Amino acid sequence: MIFSNKKINSELKEQLIKDEKIMADLSNFLEFGYKAFNITAKQKGVLIKTNSHMGNNKDIDAEDLAKISLITNHKNHYVNHAYDSITNCCKAIQKFRKKRKNRSAIYTNKRVHDNGKILKVFAKERSYDHGFFNGQSIHDKHGQLTSAFAKQWWEHNHSRTNIAIDVNSLSRSTRVDAVAEGRSANYRYYERTNELGLAPSWFKNVFMKGLATTTYQSKIAFVANAKPYPLERLSASGLSVYKIDLVTCHDGILFLEKDLWFLAYETSPSVTEVLENTNSYSNNIRDKDIDNNIRYQPAITINCASDNFRRAENVMNGRVQRNMLKAMGVS
C-alpha cells in the first residue's frame, strides 16, 4: 500500500494496516464461500450487483436461476439470507479498495487549499459541485450541460421546431440530420424530428463564451462549433476571430453552414455562481436529471457571422462603436 502523506499520524496508519488485514480475511472468506456454494463467475457478478436479490433477475438463465432460487426462496429466514454474507463481504472490500485508492499517491493529480491546509484531490474522488457524481469524466459532465443548454436554446428561439440533441464525445464535427419536409408542406411534421449532433465541448467553448447566438442573413442562428482563429491585429482591439459551424432553421427544417467567419467582442465576462439554495428551481438548468446549486451565466458578446471576412470586420467595427457610444450616453 502507498501512503500519500509521510506525516500521517500513527493512529491512522495503524488503522490502515488493520483494514488491510481485514480485507485479506474477507477475500479468503469469499474464495471459500464461492467454492462452497459452487457459484459461477456469472452468478457472482449478478449476486454482487443485485445485493443477493436474484429472484427476477434477467441477467442469468433459467438453470442458474433455479439453482439460486433453492436458497433465496427458501421458507427458512436464515437459509434465504445465506448469500447476504457474500454480498456484505463484497461491499466491504469495495469500500476498503476505494479508500485505499483515495490515499494512494498514484491517484493524486491536483492540490487544493482548505483553511490553510493543502489537500490532495484524487481522480476517483474529485468533487465538481455541479450535482454530478464524483469521478465523473469531464466529457460526461460537459455532455450533460451541453445537452441541457442546447435544448434550452432551441426551446427559447425556435420553440415550434422539432429537434433532438445528440452529444457524442467521439464526434469531431457538427452533424445535422434534417427532416425531409417542413411544417407548411406536411401536417404530420410533428411526428418527425431533426437531429443535431454536438461535441461535449460546446458548453465550455461556445455557450459559456457567449457565442451560441448570432444573427445570420436576418435570422437568429445557432453556433454549433467555434474554433479560434487568432489574428494579432484584431486581438489588439479586443476582437476574437473564429471559424464556426452555424445552424439555421426555416419552416422547421435545419440547415448547416460550415466554415463561416465569426467575430466577437466581449462586453461582460461569464459568471459561475454557487447558490446556497440547492433545489432544482434555483439554478438555470431546466433539466429534471440535473439537480445542482450552480447558476451558469454565459458571457455577453457583440458578434457577427459572415462568409466574407472583410464584410464581417466592417460590420463588427460599426457595432462595437455604437455600443461604446451608447455606454457613454451618446445617441
3-state secondary structure of 45: helix
- 121 φ, ψ (degrees, to nearest 5): -110, 130
Place of cell 459452487: 38
Q: Select the more confidently predicted residue: 76 or 3.
A: 76
User: Mind listing the pLDDT tens digit for each residue in 124-181?
Assistant: 444 444 445 445 567 778 888 899 999 999 999 998 899 999 998 777 789 999 988 8
- Alpha-carbon distances of 141 from 130, 132, 138, 224, rounded to whole Å: 9, 7, 5, 18
Q: Are 254 and 305 in contact (CB under 8 A)?
A: no
pLDDT score of 194: 93
Q: What is the DSSP string of 81-143?
A: TTTHHHHHHHHHHHHHHHHHHHT-GGGEEEEEEETTEEEEEEGGG----SSPPTT--HHHHHH
pLDDT score of 9: 54
- Alpha-carbon distances of 38 from 46, 58, 61, 67, 299, rounded to whole Å: 14, 20, 16, 10, 61
pLDDT score of 195: 94
Q: Has residue 111 got a pLDDT over 60?
A: no
At 239, is the pLDDT very low, low, confident or very high (cuts 50, 70, 90)?
very high
pLDDT score of 178: 92
- DSSP state for residue 229 in the 8-state scheme: -
User: Mind listing the pLDDT tens digit for each residue in 311-321?
Assistant: 999 999 888 88
Closest C-alpha to 161, from 187, 183, 188? 183
Q: Has residue 280 got a pLDDT over 50?
A: no
Give the mean model confidence (pLDDT) for residues 279-284: 50
Give the β-pairing of 194-198 and 163-167.
parallel
Q: Are 16 and 103 in contact (CB under 8 A)?
A: yes
pLDDT score of 265: 93
Cell of residue 227, nine digits: 474554433
pLDDT score of 101: 59
Give the β-pairing of 239-250 and 253-268.
antiparallel
Cell of residue 109, nine digits: 493529480
Q: Where are the domains of the chain?
A: 10-104, 138-327
Cell of residue 327, nine digits: 455606454
Distance separating alpha carbons of residues 186 and 113, to the nearest angstrom: 60
- DSSP state for residue 151 in the 8-state scheme: H
Closest C-alpha to 90, from 58, 134, 44? 44
Alpha helices (runs of H) in the chain, residue ranges in sequence order: 10-37, 41-50, 62-72, 77-80, 84-102, 138-157, 202, 232-235, 309-327
pLDDT score of 282: 46
Q: Has residue 102 got a pLDDT over 60?
A: no
pLDDT score of 268: 92
